[in-house]
Amino acid sequence: MRIDVVSIFPSYFDGLTLSLLGKARDSGILDLHVHDLRDWTHDRHRTVDDTPYGGGAGMVMKPEPWGLALDDLTAGLDTRPTIIFPSPAGELFRQSTARELAHREHLIFGCGRYEGIDERVFEYASTLGDVRLMSLGDYVLNGGEVAVMAMTEAIGRLIPGVVGNPESLVEESHEDGLLEYPSYTKPSTWREREVPPVLLSGNHGAIAAWRREQQIERTRQRRPDLLAE
Ligand code: 6GU
């Protein structure tokens, strides 16, 4: 998979070279490129923002650098990329979204800052690729960078070969619409706290049933919205 990220803070993404995704990059499974939006400006101050038409607080990202960046990153492609703009005004990014996007050949992430990007950029981008505005949840971040880090990690670990043991993917929170069951390791007694006896029983059927109950009970307590779905 190829991933291009456009940001005015490219060094945010240095962290993606570490750990799991770093290994995926080194092995060639993940071809990640981070770009500085200011490389597509042509004025002395490398300006990327301006005041909003109609007035109001804050600044808006100018369309011109975004247009040039998208032109360059989509020139000569033989497949249509998916172009994702992180935004608190977007659709919710969920595990099902990550699963879907993990199958795409080419993702382009455009990180907005300030009060957002000139709306025409999204229309223009849709002439070059399949555009998605995606939100992590109902709270506001200062810009898209942290959101793109999260989305890239969620997507990247689902690409075949990135997570060493694919079985570790299927029993996680959200993979089956429920939260994960609790996990324990040795010692069996720690500071007067016992591991649930069923896990020491060797009875695989009983263990599976207990884990399922735990998943349902936790989901009911912590995320009743998921059970309703
Ligand atoms: Cl994707 N961007 C920003 N700026 N804030 C957010 C978000 C995204 N998701 C939740 N809050």
Residue 174 near residue 210, CB atoms below 8 Å: no
Measured at the alpha carbon of residue 211, what is the angle toward residues 207 and 215, in degrees to the nearest 5? Answer: 170
The string of pLDDT tens digits covering residues 171-222 is 788 888 999 999 999 999 999 999 999 999 999 999 999 999 999 999 999 9
Average pLDDT value for residue range 69-90: 97
The string of pLDDT tens digits covering residues 42-59 is 999 999 999 999 999 999
Q: Does residue 129 surpass a pLDDT of 80? A: yes
Q: Does residue 63 surpass a pLDDT of 80? A: yes
Give the DSSP letter of residue 193.
E
User: Binding site for S-adenosyl-L-methionine, residues?
Assistant: 112, 136-141
Distance of CA 202 to the CA centre of its chain: 38
Residue 69 near residue 6, CB atoms below 8 Å: yes
The string of pLDDT tens digits covering residues 163-174 is 767 787 887 888
Percent of the chain with pLDDT over 90: 84
Termini Cα distance of the chain: 31
* C-alpha 136 to ligand 1 mean position (Å): 6
pLDDT at 164: 66
* C-alpha 13 to ligand 1 mean position (Å): 16
* C-alpha 219 to ligand 1 mean position (Å): 25
The string of pLDDT tens digits covering residues 3-38 is 999 999 999 999 887 776 787 888 889 999 999 999
pLDDT at 222: 98
Ligand 1 atom, smallest distance to 90 CA: 1
Cβ of 177 below 6 Å from ligand 1: no
Beta bridge partners of 4: 33, 108
Average pLDDT value for residue range 86-115: 96
pLDDT at 2: 95
Cβ of 117 below 6 Å from ligand 1: no
- pLDDT band per the 50, 70, 90 thresholds, residue 160: confident
Residue at token pair 């500085």: 36
Q: What is the mean pLDDT of the chain?
A: 94
